[in-house]
Amino acid sequence: MTLKIQLTGIRKAFNEGQPNRFWAVNGVDLHLPEGQVTVLAGPSGSGKTTLLTLIGCLARPTEGRVLLNDRAISSLPEPFLAPLRRQTFGFVFQRFNLIRGLPVLDNVMVPAYPLGVPRRALRKRALHLLETLGLGPRADARVESLSGGEAQRTALARALINDPRILIADEPTANLDSELSRTLLEILARLRTEGRSLILSSHDPLVREAGMVDRVIELRDGRVVSDRVRSAVST
Amino acid sequence: MSDLRRVWERQRHLIDYSAASMARRKGRNLGLLTVYGGMVFLLASVLFYSSALKHEANLLLAGAPEIVVQRMVAGRYAPVSGEHLLALQGIRGLRDVEGRLWGYQYDPVVRANYTLMVPPEGGVRKGTAILGPALARARGAGHGDVISFRGHDGVLASFRIAEVLPMETALASADLLLIDETDFRTLFGIPSGEYTDLALRIPNPREVQTVAEKVLERLPDSRAILREEMQRTYDAIFDWRSALVLLPLSGALLAFAILAWEKASGLSADERREIGILKAVGWETRDVLRMKLWEGGLLSLLAFLFGTVAAYWHVFGLSAPLLAPVMQGWSVLYPDFRLTPAIEGSQLLALFFLTVFPYLVATLVPVWRAAVTDPDEVMR
């Protein structure tokens, strides 16, 4: 089954009901077909992160609807959102949001706990993911001891543990140097070849110009100012 | 994989996560466990101790006469005459009536009052005495020693100690001194045929009230004290003493309530963020609540267990050194005895609901509030 995402008239306000209310996303209409790599670009405060959280069901729009295969997921009650967050979307946060005090392996396994997968099978899957991302030897390390690149890859492994069809990554290269950024982009390109949709936010030219990118959507003040589809995509 | 297996595995993951979460906040949880366990310990100690004392008192009263008749003159207690005793004989339902002789003697040496008594069954030879264990300990006296008291006429009366009562009887006999009837009457100047009070034996418990009414009809200048009334008085006294201990403790209880409220009214930024992360990666609200329930449940059960076991050891192993001075009563001669463990299931249940239940509610409310909020908002 294909997974297409549609955003219609999306607006998101913060500090609602207060004098300092502002619209982080202010009227966005988008259609994101499956299997594409979409980059949301734009300066800080342009609404990239907010839009990602709305797509990933981490927040609800003030106005408008987010549709997944024509089903309005933005208005679903809370119990219906958890399975989507768990298995349809994988989210990599800009600041990683790893659980401090837990080892890398446990952090990666956490999203699968509610599924009731036996520990041994889950551990095997998590270790395989960590090996794939070059973090095998760091599986037992506490996340506080990780470098930026390691933390980023741990967050990626966590996002992938339940094998989601759509991966959302907020500024995936923001905390990485150029070399680590390239490595990460290679990993993301691999995920694209597996048929996953990738929705990234970045103001890093390295990401925007990466060969795997299908589409770059430029945001400013919460509005789409340009939507550029790349003709030739290399993986 | 079967549904049951999946449910079990899910719970196992949640328990593992809860345990890891507790270990990550070791200092805070240990502090909480200490305060919480301490509260349970104090509450359980008071409950166990008062219950055990009531139990002991009831055991002692089980052998007491059903009715004790005392004579009152001008509202004050006065000796009972032989005529009073004879007047009661023949009441239907009354098996036996006997005059008792007992009184108090102040001992300036240890500044304590002793209870002197003539045992109803006799058995104490003239010029000898049988001592209660606390009295013997206070006077440093043992078998063969001589103990002396100044009588009502100023004449010194000496008694050779024939026996010291065993420790098991300490609650009833701590300050007791058993002597012969003649010695008693000489010491206190009580003429032959007069008694301190009368003990009535009634085999049928349903007739006790009727007999008491008949006693008052025949002896209008007397009062009848029923064993049931004495039991109720003992219960009331120990309940009152429990309250006396719990009153100052209420400060600590209040502190615990404030601590619980603090937990209820807000999570730390780290805890909120963690809940937001768990929700963001696909945990359901009920998963978060279950995990926190395991965490809170484990902590509160541990505190309950530690507190209760420590209280049991304190009360029944060490004879409650922290509570005895207040709850046992005020006396120079404290009985030295070990209480028989007497705990009712309802007490444990009440203690459980008073301590574990409020804590769990206080823990789960803020977690639920955070868990039903959008993850993005919680993580901000």
Partner-chain residue, chosen from B10, B274, B276, that has the shortest CB–CB distance to A114: B10
| pLDDT, tens only, B251-300 | 667 676 666 666 555 678 888 899 999 999 999 999 999 999 998 898 89
Six token digits for residue B342: 């007497």
Highest CATH level, class, for B67-226: mainly beta
Show Cβ contacts of residue A73 under 8 Å, excluding neighbours closer than 6 positions. Answer: A57, A66, A67, A80, A81, A84
Task: Give the separation between CA A1 and CA B79, rounded to whole angstroms.
Answer: 103
A74 in Cβ contact with A18 (< 8 Å)? no
Min distance B35 CA to chain A CA atoms (Å): 25
B124 in Cβ contact with B179 (< 8 Å)? yes
- In A, minimum Cα distance to B10 occurs at A116
Give yes or no for residue B170 having a pLDDT over 80. no
* Predicted confidence band of residue A235 (pLDDT cuts 50, 70, 90): very low
Domain with CATH 2.40.40.20 in chain B: 67-226
Averaged over A115-129, what is the pLDDT? 94
Averaged over B134-141, what is the pLDDT? 82
B294 touches chain A (CB under 8 A): no
Q: Are strands A37-41 and A197-201 parallel, antiparallel or unpaired?
A: parallel
Q: Which residue has the higher pLDDT, B112 or A60?
A: A60
Which residues of chain A are within 8 Å of residue B285 when distances are taken between CB atoms?
Answer: 78-79, 82
State residue B344's pLDDT score: 81
Position A198, amino acid = L
Which residues of chain A are within 8 Å of residue B280 when distances are taken between CB atoms?
Answer: 56, 58, 85, 91, 93, 97
Picking from A213, A120, A82, the residue whose alpha carbon sits closest to that of residue B16 is A120
Q: What is the DSSP string of B191-238?
A: PTTEESEEEEE-S-GGGHHHHHHHHHHH-TTEEEEEHHHHHHHHHHHH
* Predicted confidence band of residue B75 (pLDDT cuts 50, 70, 90): confident
CB contact under 8 A, B282 and A83: yes
Give yes or no for residue A233 having a pLDDT over 60. no
CB contact under 8 A, B6 and A116: yes
Residue A56 has what DSSP assignment?
Answer: T
Interface test with A, best of B13, B275, B281 (most A CBs within 10 A): B281
Partner-chain residue, chosen from B6, B273, B282, that has the shortest CB–CB distance to A82: B282
State residue A165's pLDDT score: 93
B254 touches chain A (CB under 8 A): no
Lowest mean pLDDT among A54-63, A171-180, B220-229, B265-274: B265-274
B327 in Cβ contact with B50 (< 8 Å)? yes
Task: Give the separation between CA B138 and CA B136, rounded to whole angstroms.
Answer: 6
CA B264 from chain center: how many Å? 34
Give yes or no for residue A231 having a pLDDT over 90. no
Q: What is the CB neighbour count within 10 angstroms for residue A129?
A: 23
| pLDDT, tens only, B302-359 | 999 999 999 999 988 888 888 777 776 555 445 555 677 778 888 888 888 888 888 8
| pLDDT, tens only, B24-64 | 888 888 888 888 888 889 888 888 888 887 787 777 777 78
What is the residue-averaged pLDDT of chain B?
A: 84
Say yes or no: ipTM exceeds 0.95: no
Partner-chain residue, chosen from A106, A115, A116, that has the shortest CB–CB distance to B20: A106
Compute φ and ψ for A161, nearest 5 degrees.
-60, -35
Q: What is the DSSP string of B225-279?
A: EEHHHHHHHHHHHHHHHHHHHHHHHHHHHHHHHHHHHHHHH---HHHHHHHHHHH
A30 in Cβ contact with A3 (< 8 Å)? no
Compute φ and ψ for B98, nearest 5 degrees.
-140, 150
State residue A1's pLDDT score: 60
A176 in Cβ contact with A152 (< 8 Å)? yes
Compute φ and ψ for A37, nearest 5 degrees.
-105, 115
State residue A226's pLDDT score: 94
pTM recorded for the entire structure: 0.72
Q: Which residue has the higher pLDDT, B155 or B266?
A: B155
